[in-house]
Amino acid sequence: MSKNKTISAHRISSDRIDQLHEISGVNVYACYQCGNCSAACPAVEFMDPTPHQVIRKIQLGFIDELTTSETPWICAACITCTVKCPRGVDIAKVMEGLRQIVLRSDFEHGHLCDIDEKMRKKLPQIALIGNFRKTIL
Amino acid sequence: MKRVGVFVCHCGINIASTVDVSRVVEDLHDYPGIAYIQDYKYMCSDPGQNLLKEAIKSEKLDAVVIAACSPTLHENTFRLAVQTVGMNPYNCEIANIREQCSWVHKDRTVATEKAKRIIRAVVEKALLDESLEPIKVPVVRKAVVLGGGIAGIQAALNIANSDYEVILVEKQSSIGGRMAQLSETFPTLDCSQCILTPKMVDVAQHPKIRLLTYAELADVSGFVGNFKVKIRQKARYVDWDKCTGCGLCIEKCPQKVASEFDQGLGKRKAIFTPFAQAVPNKPVIDCDNCTYFKTGKCRVCEKLCPFEAINFVETDTYIEEEVGAIVVATGYDVYPVLNMGEYGSGKIPDVVDGLTFERLLSSSGPTGGEVRRPSDGKIPKEIVFIKCVGSRDPEHHFPYCSKICCMYTTKHAMLYKHRVPDGQPYIFYMDVRAGGKGYEEFYQRAQDEDKVLFLRGKVSKLYQDDDKVVVCGIDTLSGSNVEIRADLVVLAMAIRPSKGIEELAKLLKISIDQNGFLTEAHPKLRPVESLSAGIYLAGCAQAPKDIPDTVAQATATAAMVANLFAKEYLLHDPIITGVDEELCSGCGLCVAVCPYDARKTNREKGLVEVNEVLCEACGACAAACPSGAAQQRNFTDEQLNRMVRAILTT
């Protein structure tokens, strides 16, 4: 995240944040930034921002930085983060919410049919399941 | 000559591994003055003590020396044991051959020789020991409580409920203190006044409590059980015996001044009660602001008072009382915003301290509980709270944590959100310390239910820009500097011991720590006692603390007072330094060196007199006395000389 941000009530409760809350049904304000989600995430080394940073950015209202980031797509929806969270924040659902926000504005993002057959056969099953979760409305 | 018995303890191997105990017994067997000597594995055990008792009886011993561990450990044990067979406990002495010998030496020969010399010296002392009886001191069963906040109220009520008389002294005209200023209290959010005012009324109505408000301690002398206190009753200019508290004078007084109770947000009159629920609910005249006192004209209150209670010529009076115990509960002040240059030095009207915000939240406050900012009365839509202002900053302000700010700031943000549901509260914090019953849950509720945004970091500066206050800080969790254009900023200022604590501590001869708070006798095991016997500490005068902790500590002081008053007499150690009137020339050297004010020159007699109860037997006077008139009981010059000689002789 770049330096010097202006935080405001307007930004914190913007329409896109409301949309995220509506889709995911998760209260991100319960998060106290312990970082357990990021510590446990099996894919964290490929992510920027990491799961707890994703939640922090939502708390501060910087959702635009997330819809353009790779993190929600790297997420395999294994829900380790959700299981680990001491405050009951369903981080996996938040990731799904972010993906939905992108998909609802851009249907062509990462469609299953775009993957050629050769690659598809090599992909592990969990990746395919994850992909279904990510792309099917 | 007295028959002295010596008992050498092995202390398992603690002593015996370094000191050759049987050699000690053998070598000292014929020492002049030792009538009987024996060793045993554990003298402090039941068989050890029985052996001691039997020997006293069978050998007809007049005094005993136990060569064992430090007297701080078992002197009392052995003194109690010898008492059961009729020996005066002051004829039982300890020769410390463990901490001062076996534990600090490796060479067995040297340690054995040293043990022998230590024992010989103590035998010499025991030969000249007198039988002594504890000094009995009567106790005045009445207490004075200084400070009428929640700590003082709680202490006074508890002492009074134990059926002892209490004088409660408060410097304001009403009791209630800081708690009366608060809106709602964490973590239950019950109204502060609603839970406090019944207790205030209980104080006023309690037959055992004498309430002295608008008063302060002027002087104190004496000692535990027998203090003499002098209390200054400030001139109220209103005869409270005649006044009924009708309030007509207040209504008609033409002079308005900023209300201290409302932190300067509201106005009060020059004749006033600090708040509507004041106890006693009778006014005083603030002579610094009264038109009559300033210009010589007005006297409206005097003309209107139907009971002729106004008395402009009243002066301060003094009340003298004897008390047995003193409870200090003088509370705290808020560190002024003036000291915070980076936060506007108190010059930005919409930057206020936490206590001021309490008044803005309070339903009895200047805005009737609506959150309206001081500058233009607008309801703030974005509000920033900053914690640790002045606290945890040893470089610039104070090193300690003020303890209550984490919780009250969380409460402020929550109450603000309840009053202004579409508003956004932000809290800048360094750490959140929510240790306390229900506190963590309260903090979590503020986050997930009330959506208070916690930003982890400090605010480096803030400034006025149009009608906004621009707050420049950092959120170290996201690693970004943040800027918020706030409508109102609330600073959780450090809390300080209340003004005048140094003078009070000097008066009471109790100590204060490097931060100005009163020092307890032991940080864990004696948390409510001062180092002066009979003076107890409660509330924020001792350290920052919240209401539950304050009430607990105040209750504890009352238990200590009741404990003290339960006895008819206090027993004082008879080892004191007296005066031999034949030898004393009245030079007064001992008076000057005595740290306890126990010695006084009697000019008529040309002698020094000793208050045996105040004497703590430090021996400073005995060392200073040029004539040998000051002799400490059982530590006389002759005893000490003979001890030294016994140690130096091979």
- Give which of B430, B443, B451 to mutate to test A binding, by max A Cβ within 10 Å: B451
Residue among B293, B478, B412, B292 nearest A54 (CA):
B478
Closest partner residue to A5 (CB to CB) among B451, B453, B480 is B480
Q: Find chain A residues with C-beta within 8 A of B481's C-beta.
A: 3-5
Does A127 score more than 80 pLDDT?
no
pLDDT at B129: 97
Q: Find chain B residues with C-beta within 8 A of A60's C-beta.
A: 453, 475, 478, 480, 482
Q: What percent of chain B has pLDDT above 70?
A: 100
Please give the Cα distance from A47 to A42 (Å, whole number).
Answer: 10
Please give the Cα distance from B553 to B235 (Å, whole number).
Answer: 32
The full set of domains in chain B, from first to last, is 4-134 (3.40.50), 137-234+318-331+498-572 (3.50.50.60), 237-315 (no CATH), 335-494 (3.50.50.60), 576-632 (3.30.70.20)
Mean pLDDT of B314-337: 97
pLDDT at B597: 86
pLDDT at B255: 96
**Chain A contact for B423 (CB, 8 A cutoff):** yes
Please give the helix or strand (H or E) that residue A58 lies within, else none. Answer: helix A51-60
Closest partner residue to A59 (CB to CB) among B381, B382, B453 is B453
Tell me the pLDDT band of B50, cut-offs 50, 70 and 90: very high
Q: Are strands B4-9 and B480-486 parallel, antiparallel or unpaired?
A: unpaired
Tell me how crowded residue A99 is: count the other CB atoms within 10 A of its CB. 21
A5–B477 CB contact, under 8 Å: no
Please give the helix or strand (H or E) that residue B554 lies within, else none. Answer: helix B547-565
Tell me how crowded residue B607 is: count the other CB atoms within 10 A of its CB. 17
Instruction: Please provide the distance, in angstroms rounded to a whole number, between the alpha carbons at the two ends of chain B.
Output: 23
Q: Find chain A residues with C-beta within 8 A of B478's C-beta.
A: 1, 53, 56-57, 60
Closest partner residue to A9 (CB to CB) among B424, B456, B481 is B424
Edge-first strand listing for the sheet containing B34-40: B34-40, B4-9, B63-68, B92-96
Please give the Cα distance from B51 to B67 (Å, whole number).
Answer: 14
Tell me the pLDDT band of A24, cut-offs 50, 70 and 90: very high
Q: Are strands B267-269 and B256-258 parallel, antiparallel or unpaired?
A: antiparallel
pLDDT at A133: 63
**Chain A contact for B485 (CB, 8 A cutoff):** yes
Residue among B205, B292, B211 nearest B255 (CA):
B292
**Chain A contact for B451 (CB, 8 A cutoff):** yes
**Chain B contact for A53 (CB, 8 A cutoff):** yes
- Domain boundaries A9-107, corresponding CATH code: 1.10.1060.10
What's the pLDDT tens digit per position in B541-595? 999 999 999 999 999 999 999 999 999 899 889 999 999 999 999 999 999 999 8
Please give the helix or strand (H or E) that residue B317 lies within, else none. Answer: strand B317-323
- Give which of B447, B449, B461, B465 to mutate to test A binding, by max A Cβ within 10 Å: B447
Q: Which residue has the tokens 């020991």?
A: B129
For chain A, the domains span: 9-107
Please give the helix or strand (H or E) that residue B5 lies within, else none. Answer: strand B4-9
**Chain A contact for B481 (CB, 8 A cutoff):** yes
Does A125 score more than 80 pLDDT?
no
What's the pLDDT tens digit per position in B272-312? 999 999 999 999 999 999 999 999 999 999 999 999 999 99
